[in-house]
Structure 1
């Protein structure tokens, strides 16, 4: 049972640690995991029994459910029936399902739902501008005005009426190859169209800069432990921040021309007097 559950959860866990993942993709994957868990709660015990039976046969072990001694029966009066009702007795399989299987799966469903509850709220707020198709669908279904009003009410950084006009224009004017919100935002800045789409650019920036998880922050704290050791106890905050940024953004650092940086640094620090 644990293998079947954790196999699905592990996929989302790895997805959470991926830097380029967006909330729209994560929302879909989490929804799939919740759907799987709910279906597994209804039909998963039989498949788990089949897998366990195969393992038991391979290991030459008996395939039986664990049983525990029940409470000592009470002494009955002569007027009560001596044989108990068979419908009131609980089989070991049903007891296992009630005491182990259902609490385990329900705990997984509850934990997953509570963990991503805030993500669902955020997706409900910005979901209509994640992709070009969502923007177009909001325009055609006449829900764009309501969605823009929710953003203005929640954030207060954009004007709802102007945002409606900008999204309606962007759906038609922006090239069709710009399919996602990130690509549309890059197109706006690349072609210097911020003055034409000021509210849309603000909404897209807010949507893109909200982190999916705190994994990046945790990695940054881990980097600090590697940089400021006991041998660097006199390091000041400015130098520590600079080294941490270089270490965190190591991919950008590798693309820089080190020789040009060294020449620029030496030109600022040399003590030769030019005659």
Structure 2
């Protein structure tokens, strides 16, 4: 059964076809997993993959047909259709049947359809990334370091239309101020161009430039705290990713308030025996007890009732 399925013209066509396509996809996939990859570089790589699918469309299909035809001739494999021939009823008055597609022509049609669908899906799924890049183009490394005044003034309106608390002039002046701070810190342009948005924000916080660059630092914070989804097109087998997605999607105002209180009362929060609390929570949860009962039980374990309750509400509970 397996040998007959492998020794088939259709199988050989798809073997060459997907080998060619998935090689480029794998290269792009590895590149997108690099640490510190900027959004700008990510979009350029995706555009390169889309260009490959559009420009090499005919070459990929012709190469697959040629490979399958050559291999079938060398191994004496039949190139005829397998299976039962379908009979179509002829209506009165019809003299000739419609000419059907041959097997190579049918394979060409199927492979072209695969490439077109792949390109279309890639185009749709990259639109959200391109929209975010267009909105936050002013805080991308290339813009913060080497963009001209004209470019910056073209980028800022897209951001100020969404966030009304920013002004075009303030962002432009603070961008120039950031460049002077980088120059004073003896950080070269080439080195700064390789930075990510997080590294720029860390630089501002480290040197305490938040007061002199308030709007710029706030833009970077907005960009770095955008809600994202992991494995949106497939089922992730990582429980950690599933939990992170769940927390992002259920992040309510109450939970954010509790996290803020925990941040303010960080000295008391550090005294909580989190390991003991988590172990007790897991044990009681396994017994399928109600969350309110578990919360009150954990609050009685320590004297810091408020901190424990906030800890449970903010980190452990799932709405």
**Interval containing the TM-score (normalised by the shorter chain):** 0.5 to 0.7
Q: Determine whether 1:94 maps to 2:105.
A: yes
Change (3 A) 1:188 1:239: closer
Match of 1:184 in 2: 200
Structure 1 match to 2:50: 34
Question: How many residues are paired up?
Answer: 233
Residue 199 in 1 paired to residue 209 in 2? no
User: Residue 160 in 1 paired to residue 168 in 2?
Assistant: yes
Map of 1:247-266 to 2, 5 A cutoff? Answer: none
Give RMSD over aligned pairs: 3.9
Cα distance in 2 for partners of 1:10, 1:195 equals 44
Distance 1:73 1:164 in 2: 75
8 Å Cα contact 1:188/1:201 also seen in 2: yes
2:271 is the counterpart of 1:230 = no
SS at match of 2:77: coil
- Unmatched 5+ residue regions in structure 1? 246-275
- Once residues 244 and 21 of structure 1 are traced to their aligned partners in structure 2, the CA distance between those partners, rounded to angstroms, is 31
Counterpart of 1:64 in structure 2 is: 79
Maintained 8 Å contact 2:136/2:223: yes
Kept after mapping to 2: 8 A contact 1:23/1:212:
no
Question: Does the C-alpha gap of structure 1 residues 235 and 124 become closer, same or farther in structure 2, counting only changes over 3 Å?
Answer: same
Measure the CA separation in 2 of the matches of 1:213 and 1:21: 17
Deviation for aligned residue 1:61:
5.7
Contact 2:174 2:213 in 1 (8 A): yes
**Structure 1 partner of 2:125:** 115
Distance 2:210 2:144 in 1: 18
The residue matched to 1:105 in structure 2 has which SS? helix
List alignment gaps of at least 5 residues for structure 2: 1-16, 232-239, 248-278, 296-308
Contact 2:137 2:155 in 1 (8 A): no
Q: Does residue 218 of the first structure (1) align with residue 242 of the second (2)?
A: yes
Indicate conservation of the 8 Å contact 2:156/2:171, yes or no. yes
Residues 69, 113 of structure 1: alpha-carbon distance in 2 compared, 3 angstrom cutoff: same
Deviation at 1:73, TM superposition (A): 7.0
Write the distance in 2 (CA, Å) between the matches of 1:219 and 1:143.
Answer: 40
The answer as to whether partners of 2:156 and 2:168 remain within 8 angstroms in 1 is yes
Whether the aligned pair in 2 keeps the contact of 1:145 and 1:160 (CA below 8 Å) is yes
* 1:188/1:194 contact within 8 Å kept: yes
Residue 146 in structure 1 maps to residue 145 in structure 2: no
Counterpart of 2:14 in structure 1 is: none
Change (3 A) 1:94 1:6: same
User: Does the C-alpha gap of structure 1 residues 184 and 75 become closer, same or farther in structure 2, counting only changes over 3 Å?
Assistant: same
Normalised by the length of structure 2, the TM-score is 0.58
TM-superposed CA distance for 1:148, in Å, is: 1.1
